[in-house]
Chains A and B, each alone.
Chain A
Amino acid sequence: GAGVSQSPSNKVTEKGKDVELRCDPISGHTALYWYRQRLGQGLEFLIYFQGNSAPDKSGLPSDRFSAERTGESVSTLTIQRTQQEDSAVYLCASSLWGRETQYFGPGTRLLVL
Chain B
Amino acid sequence: AQSVTQLDSQVPVFEEAPVELRCNYSSSVSVYLFWYVQYPNQGLQLLLKYLSGSTLVKGINGFEAEFNKSQTSFHLRKPSVHISDTAEYFCAVSEVKGNKLVFGAGTILRVKS
Residues of chain A whose beta carbon lies under 8 Å from any beta carbon of chain B: 4, 31, 33, 35, 41-45, 48, 50, 56, 59, 91, 93, 100-107
Contact = CB atoms under 8 A, between A and B. Distances in A.
Interface residues of B, number: 23
Contact of A101 (B4, B46, B103): B46
Contact of B101 (A102, A105, A106): A102
Contacts of B49: 100-101
Contacts of A4: 43
A89 to B, nearest CB: 9
Given A56-B100, A59-B100, A104 B43 contact: yes
A111 to B, nearest CB: 15
A106 B43 contact: yes
Given A100-B49, A100-B51, A45 B43 contact: no
B57 interface: no
Question: Chain B: interface secondary structure?
Answer: strand
Nearest to B99: A48
Interface string B63-103: 00000000000000000000000000010101000011111
Contacts, number: 52
Contact of B94 (A59, A91, A100): A100
Nearest to B51: A100
A42 to B, nearest CB: 4
Contact of B43 (A42, A56, A91): A91
Contacts of A104: 36, 43-45
Contacts of A59: 100
A91 B4 CA distance: 19
